[in-house]
Structures are given as structure tokens and as C-alpha cells.
Structure 1
């Protein structure tokens, strides 16, 4: 398994381990339980959220936010096939839903299918050209394919649409590091980690940038802030390997949940 991931802040945290995605659909006043489900997911109680979203769907099979919330909640717990089916059903029921295509794109990223992810994000952007999340996901897929320059253009576009989302700039910086601009990436990430909104993903992106720059000691020091020694050692070994080969494409692991606004660290802690 490849231990690195770009996102995604994203999640989706810990690019967001075990944390809820930033996608919380507007509540339906007809479904108080939908609000309960969204609140459960926002506080990290994903099993309760899954249960409540399913209950809402039982009562109203045309409640779009419930399908979107369920799809991302399933993605949070690595229930990849079920998440994929949920988003596909949402697309069938709500063909104009940009969020449903974004969710499907995230599933394809987790499945290590960047080409399919690009197609899904393109459809999301056709539905909503101003979707920062779709642009961010598109950038991640491009980074997986090694097209860092175009990926960075998408991250910048996402930042323009949502300048308060720290994850997009974090992904931009990591993409710069992967493209060989480690010093600039470190400068950006050092600033971001001082933000009150900084997440473990931002710190681990900084660790990766230091590693790609050849500063293994700093990479280890920062890595240990969120990960076990074994995980850090594994990540450093992988980092050294990609530095030697200069092969920075395809760095998101296959069995990895990706929340909408940032992805999880290279390897997840318990």
C-alpha cells in the first residue's frame, strides 16, 4: 500500500482521520432526524449518522441531503462499495446534484481510479461550476496522475471560491513539493500550521514536504506529532524511495477514506 495521500484536508481529517467531512447539506425542515444525522457526523459519531441518514431515507426516498450525508458517512468508515452505490443511486434520483458527483469522485480516488474520478468531478463542475470541493477533488486526481501544474491551477481556483478552507492551500503546497518546489511548499505549510484552523493533515503535509526536501529529521519530528513511530518510519522509508526515483505520481493509497475537504494522513493513527 502506498502510504501517502494528498488531500485532501478532505476530507476529508485526518489529506482527516475519522473526522466528518465538511459537506453538511442544508437541513430539510420536514425531517428533524436529518438535522440529528448531520450533527452526529459533524461531531464524529459516524455510526449514529449512518443510522439516522438511513432512517430519513426510509421515510422519504427523495431526500437528497440524506443520500449525500449517508454516502460520505460510509466513506468515512471505509465502506467503499456501499458508499459508491449510495452516490450512484443519488445520481440516478438527483441527476442535477453536484454533490453526488463529488462524492462519487471521492470514492474513485479512494479506489485508486483517478481517471474515473476526473470524469466524476468534471460532471460535478458541469452541474455547479463554482464548486470548490469539485475543483479540489479534480486537483487531487491530477496530482495522482502526475500533472502537478494543472492540479495547482485547480487548487488555486478552489481557494478563490473558498479562501477560508485551509485544506485547499495545504494541498496546493504539497503539490508544489511533489513538483520539486519543496522550499516554497515548506514556507506555505509553516504558515498554515500556525493557523488556529490547522489540522493533522496540514502538519503531515509539512512533514512530507520536509522529507521530499531531504530533511528526514524534521519529517520524523513533525510526523510523530500525529503518528506512531512505526508509521513514521514507514512513511520516511517511502519518502526516501520516491526521492530517489523522483516518481511522485499516484500517491494516494487505495484503501483510504477521503472526506470531502481534506484527505487523511499518509497512514492513519488509531
Structure 2
């Protein structure tokens, strides 16, 4: 009897060891996924892909992993693989707003007109999602519909007052629409904050340049790039301004 009990105890101990190992593996994979998303937030999509490589082999149907792979590929400009990953998610979850956002952002890069139509439909389905409203604002700005864009950004700000992207994009939309005082008033404090991003500073530099303060625009850009690179960006602003008849 004691031999049987010892045998059962050994089996239980072995099972517990296996389960503990599985739990540790799952925790490691979850950590990899979290770290991969942080890497993408920090502008390192290739590092994210390396972290996701093992996870997708172990979890080929896992929706968060597929979403992360779609985002990483899109950030690298590999739009066709990104589209495949996002569509795979939608095949598994027809209501995945994150997959829809991913496809909409690719459309913003490649087919802005289609992005506008897609996002107009999305805000009807997800009216409480501030990021969808922000992306819709970008689509409106691409279409030259700046007043509609500003309404969309403001809606996003009401839904999430901490969503800095909506505020920054609203300031940029003001600049695109020739509302330079409003643009500077919106963007200057954002660019001066401790958590300001290069995108926010670029938006401010555009508003400064278009308002006639080229020196300030150059100084703002040089927070994130060399003088030579800043001059190239200013040249692109000049070209954009001439198209709009502003300079």
C-alpha cells in the first residue's frame, strides 16, 4: 500500500512540476508580448518582431499576438503582411476594433479616401472609442476637410482628455487650415511638456513656419534632428505651403 502511495505521490509531484513549467512559459510569453508592445511604442518594431517570433510559434491563433504582428509589420512599412495578420484577427473576431484600426491606418498611408469611408463607418459602430475619432480626424485632414477633422479631434478629447495625440493633431489641423494663432496656442504647451514627442514638435514647427517664424521652426526641429535634416524638413514645409498658396 505504501509503495502505491509513494508512486501516486511521485506522479503528482511530476505533474505539479510540469504544470509549474507550463505556467512559467506562459508568463514568459505574456512578458514577451507586453515588451513587444512597449518596443513598438518606443519606435522599435523590429525588436518587437524578434520578441514575437517564439510566441507566435507557440500560439499561432492567439489574437493579441496576431494584432501585435500586424502592428509591427505596419510600422516597418510591410503593409501586405500586416493586412494579412489584421484580416486573420477579423476572421476570428468580426468585432475586433484593434484589427479594424490597423487596417484603417494602413489605408491612411495608401488609400486615404478608403480610410475616410472605413473610419466613418467605424465611429458609428464604436462611438465611444477616442482613437477611432482621432484617426477619423486624420482622414478628414487628408481630404482637406479641416473643420470636420477638428470636430473629430475634439470629440476624441472629450472621450479621453489625456489623449495627447488628439490635441496635437487638432493643433496641426488648425495650421493646415490657416488658423496659426490657434495652432500655436494648442501646440506650444504640448511641445514644452516633459513627455513631448518628436511628432508634437514637428507639428509645432510646421505651425511656426507657416506663421512666418522660420527661426523658431528650425530651433524646434533641431530638438530631434541635425541642422541639415531640419533644413530639408523646412524645404518640405515650403513646398506644402506653396501648394496651399500660403507662401
Q: Could you state the TM-score of these two structures normalised by the residue count of structure 2?
A: 0.80
Partner of 1:222: 220
SS for the counterpart of 2:77 is coil
Q: Report how many residues are paired.
A: 219
Describe how 1:80-159 pairs up with structure 2 within 5 A.
80-111=79-110, 113-159=111-157
Is the Cα contact below 8 Å between 2:208 and 2:217 reproduced in 1?
A: yes
Partner of 2:241: 243
Rounded Cα–Cα distance in structure 2 between residues aligned with 1:154 and 1:110: 19
Distance change >3 Å, CA 195–CA 228, structure 1 → 2:
same
Distance change >3 Å, CA 166–CA 218, structure 1 → 2:
same
Partner of 1:210: 208
Structure 2 unaligned runs (5+)? 1-23
Q: Could you state the TM-score of these two structures normalised by the residue count of structure 1?
A: 0.74
Rounded Cα–Cα distance in structure 2 between residues aligned with 1:160 and 1:61: 38
Residue 210 (structure 1) shift: 0.7
Partner of 1:40: 36
Rounded Cα–Cα distance in structure 2 between residues aligned with 1:57 and 1:122: 33
Rounded Cα–Cα distance in structure 2 between residues aligned with 1:70 and 1:107: 14
Is the Cα contact below 8 Å between 1:101 and 1:123 reproduced in 2?
A: no
The root-mean-square deviation of aligned C-alpha atoms, in Å, is 2.2
SS for the counterpart of 2:192 is coil
Describe how 1:47-66 pairs up with structure 2 within 5 A.
47-66=46-65
Residue 123 (structure 1) shift: 4.3
Structure 1 unaligned runs (5+)? 1-28, 249-270
Rounded Cα–Cα distance in structure 1 between residues aligned with 2:241 and 2:205: 14
Which structure shows the bigger proportion of residues in helix conformation? Answer: 2
1:70-94 Cα offsets, whole Å, 9 max, x none, are 1111122222221122112222221
Is the Cα contact below 8 Å between 1:148 and 1:179 reproduced in 2?
A: yes
Q: Which has the larger radius of gyration?
A: 2
Is the Cα contact below 8 Å between 1:71 and 1:87 reproduced in 2?
A: yes
Rounded Cα–Cα distance in structure 2 between residues aligned with 1:220 and 1:86: 40
Is the Cα contact below 8 Å between 1:158 and 1:168 reproduced in 2?
A: yes
Rounded Cα–Cα distance in structure 1 between residues aligned with 2:236 and 2:59: 47
Is the Cα contact below 8 Å between 1:193 and 1:199 reproduced in 2?
A: yes
SS for the counterpart of 1:214 is coil
Is the Cα contact below 8 Å between 1:67 and 1:90 reproduced in 2?
A: yes
Is the Cα contact below 8 Å between 2:32 and 2:55 reproduced in 1?
A: no
State the structure with bigger RCO (CA 8 A, min sep 6), 1 or 2: 1
Rounded Cα–Cα distance in structure 2 between residues aligned with 1:57 and 1:247: 50
User: Could you tell which deviates more after superposition, 162-171 or 194-203?
Assistant: 194-203
1:152-192 Cα offsets, whole Å, 9 max, x none, are 11111111111112111010001001101011101111111
